[in-house]
Amino acid sequence: MYKTLFLSILSTIFIGCSSTTALKHFKKNEIEAKAMQYTKKADVIINEEQKVLLWATYLNNIDIKEFQSDYETFITSLYFINSDTQDIKENGYSFYLNTKKPISIEEISYENKMYKDILSKNTWGKYYLVKFKKNKKSDKLILTLSNTNANFAKLTFEK
């Protein structure tokens, strides 16, 4: 009985002194870990079928100087299921942030060294760096991917 009690106390001490973050158990650097925290996924569903997969990472909350600016900046990954093209414009979709159009949408390669710690290795879709004017009135950001047929996916981010 004393052995069991001693082992219980000893294990409680070790557990209590250990780190409680799960990210310590993965071999990811700090930028990758923060990118994971600020990445969300949504789908465009049409007739109960997935048609578009959207992943977006809100870059302003990641500690990279280039994204601490006057813009709300996202890296997005789009995959158009059963489509001949993976291009956002050719598929008739657009991004909006709280109903505002982006200032710029730039296609980036998944091999881009600047974003290598942020991008998943999605080789089937396309990546876009999407910038919007800074939203100073709200701490809630709603990123929407939509087309002219009212099909859409929405992701909500906190500043």
CATH number (2.60.40, 3.30.70, 3.30.40, 1.10.10) of 25-158 reads 2.60.40
pLDDT in tens, 33-62: 777 888 999 999 999 999 999 999 999 888
Per-residue pLDDT of the chain (159 residues; tens, 9 = 90+): 555 554 455 455 545 554 444 444 444 577 777 778 889 999 999 999 999 999 999 998 886 666 667 899 999 999 999 999 999 999 999 999 999 999 999 999 877 777 766 766 667 889 999 999 987 888 899 999 999 898 999 999 998
64/102 Cα distance (integer angstroms): 21
**For 1, how many CA atoms within 13 A lie in the half-sphere containing its CB?**
0
**Cβ within 8 Å of residue 63, ≥6 positions away:** 30, 31, 34
Beta bridge partners of 134: none
137/140 Cα distance (integer angstroms): 9
pTM: 0.76
pLDDT at 3: 54
Burial grade of 145 (CB within 10 A; 0-12, 13-18, 19 or more): buried
Residue spans of the domains in the chain: they are 25-158
Six token digits for residue 120: 């998943």
